[in-house]
């Protein structure tokens, strides 16, 4: 009887006294932030900025691990399979999340079901630039010029399935034109081919285009975001230029494996939003042509869902596939 009373007492205590939530003791050990591209890539740069600030504020090491390959999908798959405890995070992007399931039949993860989105940190619009030898000054001019010459104009991209490739295929679809794709090995080569006039046009980052635009080596017809760019206030958006529904961003955000406790996700969200808005971090990101896009995990989830749906449709229409 005495033993029974003791057992019942501790059982009652366990019910009445709540255990600490997972997020209250988090983080209790080092955190790994996986950048699924090579050192020096945008995801790596943003990831290292965040990791340093997280370590500083939480007193635990936060290190960036590069797991590059297959358009970012190797690193993303690794995180999707990791223990959902908040200690392995992904620096997600349009390549590893937004376009991956449309491009790859053998993708080892579901970009919507296998992750817990934490925060969309940065998004960056791009620019549609043409070589000055192409006799057009507006998107309307370009559409008319291309329709009169189906298959005779071309554009450069940083590779098959890259955002710069798919963004131009979306242009082809919405404008009803056929501008031929010429893939290159990375954005630097794609930009060089445009500047030298070996290709007619391309969709590129504002950072890689701005100096050439100012020197007259390329002509910017439009930008790809919903609002005009602060760097190019006189350049219309694609929507303003006559392509309703055209809105394209390169983006970066932090994600965890699906099943990560909600209080840990919320704690990470709160701290990362604070870090993204620190003046030094914000200025570095703005200098790279990005805009802060912080919000809640729920908002990021809906953003990803819409992005995946949009790119699946574009990829299917264009018949793009990466093996």
- In order of their start, the domains of the chain are 31-123+249-318 (3.40.190.150), 126-223 (3.40.190.10)
Residues 89, 79 contacting (CB under 8 angstroms)? yes
**pLDDT, mean of residues 127-133:** 98
Residue 200 phi, psi (nearest 5): -85, -30
**pLDDT, mean of residues 242-263:** 96
Could you give the CA distance from residue 45 to residue 42 in angstroms, rounded to a whole number?
5
- Among residues 55, 56, 89, 54, the alpha carbon closest in space to that of 75 is found at 89
Phi-psi label, residue 96: left if phi above 0, alpha if psi -120 to 50, beta otherwise:
alpha
**pLDDT, mean of residues 283-301:** 88
Confidence of residue 2 (pLDDT cuts 50, 70, 90): low
Confidence of residue 288 (pLDDT cuts 50, 70, 90): confident
Is the model's pLDDT at 191 over the cut of 70? yes
Write the pLDDT tens digit of every residue in 74-103: 999 999 999 999 999 999 999 999 999 999
Is the model's pLDDT at 261 over the cut of 80? yes
Is the model's pLDDT at 4 over the cut of 70? no
Q: What is the chain's mean pLDDT, rounded?
A: 92
- Model pLDDT, residue 23: 56
- Model pLDDT, residue 182: 98
The interaxial angle of helices 42-58 and 279-287, nearest 10 deg, is: 180
- Model pLDDT, residue 294: 79
Q: Lowest mean pLDDT: which of 141-155, 266-280, 281-295?
A: 281-295
Is the model's pLDDT at 242 over the cut of 90? yes
């Amino acid at each position: 009887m005495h033993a029974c009373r003791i057992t019942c007492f501790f059982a009652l205590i366990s019910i009445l006294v709540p255990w600490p939530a997972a997020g209250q003791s988090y983080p209790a050990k080092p955190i790994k932030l996986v950048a699924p591209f090579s050192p020096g890539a945008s995801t790596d740069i943003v990831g290292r900025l965040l990791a340093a600030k997280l370590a500083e504020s939480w007193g635990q090491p936060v290190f960036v691990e590069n797991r590059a390959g297959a358009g970012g999908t190797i690193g993303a798959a690794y995180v999707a399979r990791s223990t959902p405890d908040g200690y392995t995070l992904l620096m997600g992007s349009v390549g590893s999340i937004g376009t991956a399931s449309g491009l790859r039949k053998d993708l080892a993860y579901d970009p919507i079901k296998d992750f817990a989105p934490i925060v969309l940190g940065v998004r960056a619009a791009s620019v549609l630039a043409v070589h000055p030898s192409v006799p057009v000054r507006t998107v309307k001019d370009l559409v008319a010029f291309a329709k009169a010459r189906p298959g005779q104009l071309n554009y450069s991209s940083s590779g098959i399935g890259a955002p710069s490739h798919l963004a131009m295929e979306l242009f082809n679809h919405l404008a009803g034109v056929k501008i031929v794709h010429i893939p290159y090995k990375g954005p630097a080569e794609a930009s060089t081919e445009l500047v030298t006039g070996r290709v007619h046009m391309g969709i590129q980052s504002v950072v890689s285009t701005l100096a050439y635009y100012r020197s007259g080596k390329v002509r910017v017809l439009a930008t790809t975001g919903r609002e005009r760019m602060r760097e190019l206030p006189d350049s219309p958006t694609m929507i303003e230029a006559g392509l309703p529904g055209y809105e394209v961003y390169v983006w970066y955000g932090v994600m965890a494996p699906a099943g990560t406790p909600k209080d840990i996700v919320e704690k990470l969200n709160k701290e990362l939003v604070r870090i993204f808005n620190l003046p030094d971090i914000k200025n570095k990101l703005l200098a790279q042509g990005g805009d802060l896009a912080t919000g809640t995990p729920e908002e990021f989830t809906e953003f990803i869902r819409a992005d995946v749906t949009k790119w699946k449709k574009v990829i299917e229409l264009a018949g793009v596939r990466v093996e």
